[in-house]
Structure 1
């Protein structure tokens, strides 16, 4: 027996946006409870497990999975482009590896290992106190220069979604982080102002990834035949098994050849 569940861009995006909204609201309310509510059972645990500005909790798990999902979708597109010997096949491959790294970084907070060495090197303060911003901004600029032709070759709708996603993600990761760094060095982080900025920062990053996923699934649906979740259940009293299968129907025919070179 076979069940096929197509991954529709609208449905996936609505689901992910609801998750992001819930995480942001729960994080903000749980942190506010530390300031304004009396002690209650598991208050510290709840505040930590939902804090979008903390590590190894539910928001971190969500961000890791969202970035990993983006990497998998990029890998699907890269595979299709490689079959077609597309001009930009390597760009898709590199993007897939970049998002794989970002997912691992989210899980292990790898970028924070740059903070102390670079803080000593640059004698950083103020908006650059979280010094991982410096190499990250340099890499973003290098990426934009290297991928300018790739971005402009994309269909207009996909290009707009990718640019919007990048603006949201970088705006949160760099822009709001700089504001947060300034507040951290002037009034500290145990206040409502820093809490608002930190929540906005992480929310912008998460929404940016949702927009990017929407663009990827829409691109796959329009130009590669779509992506679906297939579930197979064998009969004859055999133990049931389930697994994911990403289908690209257009790869089996000539219609996909040299679509976007």
Structure 2
């Protein structure tokens, strides 16, 4: 029976994150040296939608969603009520993966900022509805959280805190900085976002945001796999901690 060593998989995932991050940093140094974006620097840039970092993040989220689906199926086979909670987690992760790959949240930014005249930390308007969605999703996950073993729960909390802190927390900081650079009276649609994203401080914030997001995804995937290995057992594939 094939086996997956979760520790080795996690280390491999972290190496991949490190390589992607170093490639992004190299792309920013290349941009600063040349004074313009090249096709190579774009494909390695965290800020670009169609880039290697975006593919890596999306793949990690889909992997976590797939493992959550396996847990839901195992819970269903065992007749456990928590299968619905894991099914919900699967759906949430699939949505986040789709959102990451299609940049759905970015497409909401201009309409929301124009409609509500958001500014400051909410200048990038998509964060407002996503904070509301986060609260609702968190409340819906509470029944599942109460059923989880404590070690699994804390692993998931760690990963989730890092992801939310990066995806929303860092985005709020970037939003405030972007609004300050654009000017208090400048609508987001009229701001030169591409130029502002190339400012050194903004590049640093974006790098930290995306790096921590990818690390959080790796930790979440590890937590799910360890839950299968340590708490549930598996069927066709044997997992080792």
TM-score, structure 2 length as denominator?
A: 0.87
Counterpart among 12, 23, 28 of residue 20 in structure 2: 23
For residue 153 of structure 2, what is the aligned residue in structure 1? 159
Backbone CA RMSD of aligned residues: 1.9
The answer for unaligned runs of 5 or more in structure 1 is 228-245, 250-261
Q: Are the equivalent residues in 2 in contact too, given 1:32–1:192 (CA < 8 A)?
A: no
**Which residue of structure 1 lines up, in the alignment, with residue 7 of structure 2?**
10
Q: For 1:131 and 1:90, locate their aligned partners in 2 and report how far apart those are by CA, in whole Å.
A: 32
The alignment covers a number of residue pairs equal to: 225
After superposition, the Cα gap between the structure-2 partners of 1:248 and 1:10, relative to the gap in structure 1 and judged at 3 Å, is closer
Cα distance in 1 for residues equivalent to 2:157 and 2:42: 33
Q: Pick from 183, 207, 223: which aligns with 1:215?
A: 223
Q: Distance in 2 between matches of 1:217 and 1:8?
A: 9
User: C-alpha distance in 2, partners of 1:38/1:106?
Assistant: 29
Aligned partner of residue 7 in structure 1, secondary structure: strand
Match of 1:190, SS state, is: coil
Match of 2:38 among 34, 41, 44: 44
Greater Rg over alpha carbons, structure: 1
Q: Which residue does 2:193 correspond to in 1?
A: none
Counterparts of 1:199-214 in structure 2, within 5 Å, are 199-214=207-222
For the 8 Å contact 1:158–1:215, the answer to whether it is kept is yes
Distance 2:138 2:208 in 1: 24
CA distance in 1, matches of 2:27, 2:39: 10
Which segments of 5 or more consecutive residues in structure 2 lack a partner in the other structure? 182-195
TM-score if structure 1 supplies the norm length?
Answer: 0.81
Q: How has the CA–CA distance of structure 1 residues 109 and 137 changed in structure 2, closer, same or farther, with 3 Å as cutoff? A: same
Listed as ranges, the matches of 1:159-198 within 5 Å are: 159-187=153-181, 188-198=196-206
Higher helix proportion (structure 1 or 2): 2
For the Cα contact (< 8 Å) 2:3–2:237, is it kept in 1? no
Deviations 1:80-137 (A, max 9, x none): 1011121211010111111111111111111222112211222012211111100111
Asked if structure 2 preserves the Cα contact closer than 8 Å seen for 1:23 and 1:52, the reply is no
